[in-house]
Structure 1
Amino acid sequence: MDGTPAAEIVSEVAPRAGETIVTHQRVTGFHASSLDVLLRGAGIDTVIIAGVATNLSVEGTARAASDLGYRTIVVSDGCSAGSEAAHSASLESLGLLAEIATADELLTAVHTPATV
């Protein structure tokens, strides 16, 4: 619930000045929120998703992002579920509609110059 300690953003990942926070009340971050409008308005076509729980909010948001036409990347070691089996099953399913990558793979890709 907003305003309670359980809903506070962890300081290590707190938004910087000027960054937008989108609050959602459903399983997907896109449903009944301004997320799609904000991303499209900023010209963003790729989303990278991490969080809890892999088989609920992460999967729901990744599916919605894919349905909306975004390039969707799920950070496999940046999310978790109630069990390793649920986490793995969700990632396996998501692999049909999203790219699955580790945090290290993403960092390497960002820091590697593109070749033409």
Structure 2
Amino acid sequence: MAVVHIRLGFRPDYADCLSVAARIAGLNAAIVGEFGTEFHPAVAPLVGEMIVTKQCVNPFFNTRHMTWLMRNGIKRLYLGGVATHLVVESTARFGDDAGLAPVVIENICAAPNPALHDHFITMIAPAVGTVSNTAEFVASVSEA
């Protein structure tokens, strides 16, 4: 199974940050190579797994992610991450629009507010894909 790791990361001068949203104002983090842009050892990429560094919420915008998926014949996305209501939602919506089949693995997603997480999982994710959990994911992979 192909695994892609996606992280947020900017140049030190933030010249590659296009967003003008309020959440970006005063941003003093996510500089590539500094604390907060590396993966936790428990989920660190293995040799050969692709890493995409993005500068916005949508991991398909201005990255090689979609090209890589298409070139490799990927038709289903299994999603987990932070923040459920921004990044996971954006990825699921765009993936659905692109003809991919997003599967949101609910218990490996998180948001700063549980209500934001729950709203996406219960109200939006079922409209753009499927909601699953790690036990169901592991069982489905074992059967394949």
TM-score by length of 2: 0.75
Q: Secondary structure at the match of 2:47?
A: coil
Q: Secondary structure at the match of 1:85?
A: helix
Identity value in percent: 31
Residue 99 in structure 1 maps to residue 130 in structure 2:
yes
Look up the equivalent residue of 1:5 and give its one-letter code.
F
Q: Relative to total residues, which structure has the larger helix share, 1 or 2?
A: 1
Structure 1 residue ranges without an equivalent (≥5): none
Counterpart-to-counterpart distance in 1, 2:111 and 2:126: 16
Residue 112 of structure 1 and its aligned partner are, at CA, apart by 2.2
**Partner of residue 32, structure 1:** 62
Counterpart-to-counterpart distance in 2, 1:90 and 1:102: 15
Residue 73 in structure 1 maps to residue 107 in structure 2:
no
Residue 84 of structure 1, aligned match among 104, 114, 127 = 114
Q: How many pairs were matched up? A: 113
Look up the equivalent residue of 2:43 and give its one-letter code.
V
Residue 108 in structure 1 maps to residue 144 in structure 2:
no
Structure 2 residue ranges without an equivalent (≥5): 1-30
Measured on the aligned residues, the alpha-carbon RMSD in Å equals 1.0
